[in-house]
Amino acid sequence: MVQPLAAEIDRDHRFPQEAIEAATESGLMGVLIPREYGGAGLDALAFAICIEELAQACASTAVIVDVHTSVGTEPILLFGDEEQKRRWLPLLASGRLLGAFALSEPASGSDAASLKTTARRGGDGYVLNGTKVFITNIGHAGLYVVFARTGPDERAAGVSAFLVPADTPGLRVGQIFHKMGLHGSPTGELVLEDARVPAANRLGGEGEGFTIAMRALDSGRIGISGQALGIAQAAVDEARALMRERGHGQGDDFSLADMAARVESARLLAYHAAWLCGRGRRFTCEASMSKLHATDTAMQVALDTLQIAGDDGAAAGSPFERHVRDAKALQIYEGSNQVQRVVIARELLLG
Amino acid sequence: MDFEFTAEQVAIRDTIRELVQDRVAPRAAEIDAKSEYPKDIETLFAENGILGIPFPEEYGGISGSSVTICMGIEEIAKACASSSLILAVQALGSYPILVAGSEEQKKRLCPPLASGEKVAAYALSEPGSGSDAAAMKTRAKRYGNEYVLSGTKQFITHGSVAGTLVVFAETEPGTDHRGISAFVLERETSPWIVSKIEHKLGIRGSPTAQIVLEEVKVPASNRLGEEGAGFKLALAVLDRSRPGIGAQALGIAEGAFDYALNYVKDRQQFGQPISSFQGIQFMLADIATQIEAARHLVYLSATKADSKAPDLTKTAAMAKLFASDMAMRATTDCVQLLGGYGYISDYPVERMMRDAKITQIYEGTNQIQRVVIARALLR
């Protein structure tokens, strides 16, 4: 269902509606959501494997499901009150609502704590103003987890998290970006102009937003690792098939062996981080190591397999060139790999 | 070795640099987005003598020096890799004539290319014959004073827009590479069919064509060199053109690095430009060092091409290998330096990263370069 669409949605820059419907029917939209809220009640390791499998077929479909499941849903799962969970989780688990995560802003990327979007108290709720950027699932999401400044503190302590339904007046989709890859997964700006949400839509306490965002990203990095593994494995498998068909010298053999060893090491790193997460242990450092290593591996493997494929691999529509374009995004989003190094070093030096 | 360019070379480079900034750079994103061959840029290069760089003055050109050709390709590739191929492939398609052509052939075939009235292309690869060029199937049968060519050529850069096409074909099938000969096809008298234009990862403004030859008649006077000398010529031509691909890779990397360097000085996070972070500084230092190393290898190989040095084959392969691998890494890192903005087409570095990949593949994949280098070392 997913794989046959991969080349077409890439070519046409089209949202893979059928693939997402199929994922919904298989219960993939609620993998992490407990059964009492309509989900499958599985753990982070199962989630990583789901995303890995999806990404082997189509990296765009994988990131749509990943963002929905991890950063789009987990903040409610981990920080929502009972009423919020009952209201939103069944809708997200059933796929009736697609989730999204709105943290970055034009001037606030790696430095997320400097965000400028404001949430002013007004009446019995909040009024949100600002522009969010690089929002995955833009335009298709039914619910955005939006981070905005409520307090006077100019850094992390002033940030709160809000659940903002897509039909909120004052919420609109801005520019949709034309990207190098992941063409099936829309990315763009979320513009908030006097968008009003009830106080019941604030997630956690005022000032808790940054903590929520960072915890969501820790899990999110497990999902992105799964996506990286899927792309890398698909590329290795395709290169292997090509070599069997076409013949191979020792240069290609060594390249294949290096790639397979790297993918295997990245897989174990990712599964270990997911396993720690599932057991409720600290996993921040492991998740960052996993994201860094798995996404660097996916990029290198995508480039090396395209090299093995040669001219034919560079023709548009070939999976080899698509993997290169798709893999690059992974080194950038959910914390650039520079930010992962900052996190890892901080954990090592202060932990 | 001389690390200084001549005053004439510097003058040519400065002219190209200015033209590129004014006329090519503003078109680069559009050329990529529309996957269109920039005929206007071809005309611009023709009018300004740039297409004459590969030719000595006696054949209507202005230079004929590999170093000068590389300087031109590098300058153009800084802004637009697709446009740089207009010069690079003009050189590639003309080398066979300049290397193996008789005086009569050079006098007849070169001036329309040097003036830019026509562009040239080079047809060696076939669907079943890429790295193993000697396995080609295209046939050339002699009938009196002409040859009749039949076959299919694959991945022919500018095969659809060229007026002059150098084709390699079997004159003596059943033999190994010693049965291959080279021919110059002129479109008006020896027309070829363009059966397919590839849609590619990068260099989208440079059409890559599949070409079908259906009993195309070519006068015997357009055979380059002796019958059976074609394969040796094909390799000799690639020795001369590989420094140019190195120069293209170098230019792409420099263009991306120039943009990324300005970006990181400008982009503020955590209350300071991101260039103030050591992690970013180390990336900048590594990219700059790699570019510098590649530049010297490229110009050393071009110098050897001009002096017809005996170890040109090895050095040209090293330059192409090193510069193209460097360009792939450098452009990937430049996208990284721009973060999310690097990944979207509002900024040029994602195009440059897509453009860089082909430099590792064409004119001999980098695997073939390694084979060539190892063979030279072990001989």
Residue B50, classed as helix, strand or coil, is: helix
CATH fit for domain A99-207, picks 3.40.1350.10, 2.40.110.10, 3.20.20.70, 3.40.50.1370? 2.40.110.10
How far does B329 lie from chain A, in Å, by closest CA? Answer: 10
| Rounded mean pLDDT, B246-270 | 97
Q: Does domain A210-350 have CATH number 3.40.50.300?
A: no
DSSP A280-295: T---HHHHHHHHHHHH
Query: Could you report the per-residue pLDDT of B39-88, keeping only the tens digit for each?
Result: 999 999 999 999 999 999 999 999 999 999 999 999 999 999 999 999 99
Residues of A in contact with B357 (CB under 8 A): 303, 306, 314, 321, 324
Interface test with A, best of B131, B201, B346 (most A CBs within 10 A): B201
Give the pLDDT of residue B177. 86
> What is the mean pLDDT of the segment spanning A133-156?
94
Fold topology of A3-93: Butyryl-Coa Dehydrogenase, subunit A; domain 1 (1.10.540)
Structural domain boundaries in chain A: 3-93, 99-207, 210-350
User: Percentage of chain B with pLDDT > 90?
Assistant: 94
- Report the pLDDT value the prediction gives residue A152, as an integer from 0 to 100: 83
pLDDT score of B1 = 55
pLDDT tens sequence across A303-314: 999 999 998 888
Residue that is written with structure tokens 């075939």 in the block: B109
Buried b (16+ CB within 10 A) or exposed e, A284-302: bbbbbbbbbbbbbbbbbbb
* Options B74, B75, B254, B363, the catalytic residue: B363
- Interface probe for A, chosen from B124, B280, B343 (most Cβ of A below 10 Å), is B343
The answer to whether B350 contacts A180, with C-beta atoms less than 8 Å apart, is yes
Give the C-alpha separation, B256 to B320, whole Å: 18
* Mean pLDDT, rounded, for B328-337: 98
**Per-chain mean pLDDT for chain A:** 95
Cβ neighbors of B297 (< 8 A, separation 6 or more) are B246, B315, B318, B319, B322, B323
Chain A: nearest CA to B145, how far in angstroms?
Answer: 37
Predicted pLDDT at A273: 96
Q: Do the Cβ atoms of B200 and A314 come within 8 Å?
A: yes
Give pLDDT, residue B133. Answer: 77
Name the residue in chain B with its Cα closest to that of A322.
B201
Closest residue by Cα to residue B76 from B111, B50, B109, B97 = B50
Find the mean pLDDT for residues A47-72: 97
Identify the pLDDT of residue B49: 96
From chain A, the residues in CB contact with B205 under 8 A are none
The confidence score (pLDDT) of residue A100 equals: 98
Confidence of residue A315 (pLDDT cuts 50, 70, 90): confident
pLDDT at B128: 86
A273-295 confidence digits (pLDDT tens): 999 999 999 999 999 999 999 99
pLDDT (tens digit, 9 = 90+) per residue, A173-231?
A: 999 999 999 999 999 999 999 999 999 999 999 999 999 999 999 999 999 999 999 99
Helix (H, G, I), strand (E, B) or coil at B209: strand
Q: With an 8 Å Cβ cutoff, is B254 touching chain A?
A: no
Determine contact: B320 vs chain A, CB below 8 A: no
Q: Is B339 close to A110, i.e. CB distance below 8 A? A: yes
pTM equals: 0.90
Determine whether A334 is an active site residue. Answer: yes
Asked if A177 reaches chain B (Cβ–Cβ under 8 Å), the answer is: yes
Asked if B367 is an interface residue toward chain A (Cβ–Cβ < 8 A), one would say yes
Spatial separation of the C-alpha atoms in residues B240 and B149, rounded to whole Å: 26
Residue A26 has pLDDT above 90, yes or no: yes
| pLDDT mean over B305-327 | 96
Do B17 and B75 meet the contact criterion of CB atoms below 8 Å apart?
yes
Give the angle subtended at the CA of A207 by the CAs of A203 and A212, to the nearest 5°: 50
Which chain B residues are closer than 8 Å to A109 by Cβ? 269, 339-340
Amino acid B132: pLDDT? 82
A52, A189, A286, A334: the catalytic one is A334
Least confident window among B100-104, B195-199, B261-265, B333-337: B195-199
Check if the beta carbon of residue A203 is closer than 8 Å to that of residue A144: no
Mean pLDDT of A98-119: 95
Report how far residue B205's alpha carbon sits from residue B35's, in angstroms, rounded to the nearest whole number. 5
How far are the Cα atoms of B113, B136, B229 from residue B123, in angstroms, in the given order? 17, 11, 16
pLDDT in tens, B169-194: 999 988 888 999 999 999 999 999 99
- Residues of chain A with Cβ-Cβ distance to B368 below 8 Å are none
Do B351 and B345 touch, CB atoms closer than 8 A? yes
Nearest CA of chain A to the CA of B233: how many Å? 23
Mean pLDDT of B101-109: 98
Distance from CA of B71 to the nearest CA of A (A): 26
Distance between B279 CA and the closest CA of chain A, angstroms:
7
Q: Locate the chain A residue with the closest alpha carbon to B208.
A: A315
Check whether A119 has a pLDDT greater than 90.
Answer: yes
Q: What is the pLDDT of residue A204?
A: 97
* Whether A336 and B279 lie within 8 Å, measured CB to CB: no
Does residue A351 surpass a pLDDT of 70?
Answer: no
B53-90 burial code (b ≥16 CB/10 A, e <16) = bbbbeebbbbbbbbbbbbbbbbbbbbbbbbbbbbbbbb
Q: What pLDDT is stored for residue B210 in this prediction?
A: 96
Q: Cβ contacts (< 8 Å) between A114 and chain B: which residues?
A: 269-271
For the complex shown, is ipTM > 0.90?
A: no
Using the structure block, give the residue that is written with the tokens 């395709």: A238
What's the mean pLDDT in B227-232?
A: 96
pLDDT at B2 over 80: no
